[in-house]
Structure formats: C-alpha cells, structure tokens
C-alpha cells in the first residue's frame, strides 16, 4: 500500500476513534444527569411505555431541540477555524433554548466536554467561547479532528438518543431490552437525518416540537425529580 494511502487510512481511523470516544456515554460530560424535559413527560403520563418513548425521542430528533442542536454541531464542525463564527453560534444556540434548565444543561455539559477534550490538545480550544454550549463544543472539536459534518451529526444524534433512552429505562421503566429495541428502530431515522443535516445552514434551524419545550420548562416545577432538566 502506498505511503500516502497508509497515512490517510490511519488519519481516518484516528478520527473515527476520537468520534467514538467523544460520543460515548462513558465520556465524562455528565449528560446522564439531564433528561431535557423527558422526566416531566414521564411524570405526567405522556411517556409511559416503549412505544410512547420511541415516539417522544423520534419527534425530538425530527422536529425538536435535538434537531436544532445537531444542526448547530454541524455548523460548528464546518466553522471550527473561525473564532467569531463559533462565538456567534454559541450565542445562537443559547438564544434558541427556551427552558432555563435546558440552558444550564447545555452550558454545564459544554464546559465538561471542553475540559475532558483538553486531553487532545488542539488550537480549536482557544477559539471556543468561555461559555460554550455542548453542541458547539462537540462540533468544533469534531471539525478540528477532520471528522465530517455527516459523521458529526450521526454521532451527536445517536448520543442524544442513547441519553434519552437511558432516562426512560430508569424512570418509565421500560427495561434494557426495550431500550435497545428503540435504539435499533431509530438507526435508519438517525442515519437519514445525519445525511440531510450535514448540509444544513442557519436557515434550517427551527422547531415545532412544542411539547418537548413545554416539558423542559415545566421540569423545575416537579415536586420530586431525579434529573436536573
């Protein structure tokens, strides 16, 4: 195999390895502490079984905050060399987040991601804002590692879905088997969304999943809660 092909293969493998690490539930970002409003939907009976869990997550992926966050991660991936654009995207991300607890979630997990990703030194760290929402941090680091926007979106949406399923497994409860079945059922949906969102721009931002936003807003009013959002 020619040397340049070997180098390219190793670079692609390294990018994939980093993507798997950064999107892993084991990466110390702290997303396990947040439900993004799903705890509210479970508490009020809206999400009560595997079918309702899958519908809730799919709706969020297609039309809700998860879609917006994935687009923002893609935009950050493509803009990883532009400090001004990254700061503008961070502001836009927070402006598009209507619930106070979700706002805090994005900043806390973003800070944790940046701190953990410091193990991979890169000039992109200096281009990120001090208050960096998670999607922007994830996307910028992915772009700096030569990860494509499509793969960035795929990993981000998969990680989001895994986190939501984990909440349902613990609270509905639906059990690990049903949780894995939901993840398997969402595979093609996530793959299609990732391919589409890889070419998205700011004009594609927007949500119509009002129930998820309202649930996120109402979470702080729960008398008993396990999650922070």
Distance CA 141, CA 156 (A): 12
Q: Does a structural domain hold residue 19? A: no
| Res. 7 pLDDT band, cuts 50 70 90 | low
Q: Does a structural domain hold residue 39? A: no
Q: Return the percentage of the chain with pLDDT > 90, whole number.
A: 94
Q: Does a structural domain hold residue 211? A: yes
CATH at residue 113: 1.10.4190.10
DSSP track, 71-136: HHHHHHHHTTT-HHHHHHHHHHHHHT--SHHHHHHHHHHHHHHHHHHTTS--GGGGGS-SS--HHH
In the predicted structure, residue 87 carries a pLDDT above the cut 70: yes
In the predicted structure, residue 32 carries a pLDDT above the cut 50: yes
Range of the domain at 123: 46-221
Distance CA 117, CA 152 (A): 15
Query: Tell me: the pLDDT tens digits for 94-133?
Result: 999 999 999 999 999 999 999 999 999 999 999 999 999 9
Q: Tokens 């935009």 — which residue?
A: 75
């Amino acid at each position: 195999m020619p040397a340049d092909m070997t180098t390219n293969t190793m670079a692609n493998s390294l990018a994939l390895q980093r993507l798997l690490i950064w999107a892993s539930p084991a990466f110390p970002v702290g997303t396990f502490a947040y439900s993004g409003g799903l705890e509210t939907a479970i508490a009020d009976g809206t999400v009560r079984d595997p079918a309702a869990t899958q519908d809730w997550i799919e709706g969020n992926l297609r039309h809700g905050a998860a879609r917006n966050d994935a687009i923002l991660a893609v935009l950050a991936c493509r803009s990883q060399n532009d400090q001004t654009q990254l700061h503008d995207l961070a502001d836009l991300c927070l402006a598009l987040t209507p619930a106070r607890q979700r706002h805090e979630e994005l900043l806390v997990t973003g800070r944790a991601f940046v701190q953990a990703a410091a193990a991979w030194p890169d000039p992109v760290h200096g281009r990120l804002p001090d208050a960096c929402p998670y999607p922007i941090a994830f996307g910028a680091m992915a772009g700096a590692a030569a990860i494509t926007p499509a793969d960035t979106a795929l990993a981000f949406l998969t990680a989001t879905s895994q986190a939501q399923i984990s909440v349902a497994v613990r609270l509905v409860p639906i059990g690990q088997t049903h949780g894995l079945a939901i993840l398997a059922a969402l595979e093609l949906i996530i793959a299609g969304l990732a391919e589409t969102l890889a070419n998205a721009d700011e004009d594609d931002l927007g949500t119509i999943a009002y129930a998820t936003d309202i649930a996120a807003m109402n979470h702080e009013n729960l008398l008993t809660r396990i999650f922070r959002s």
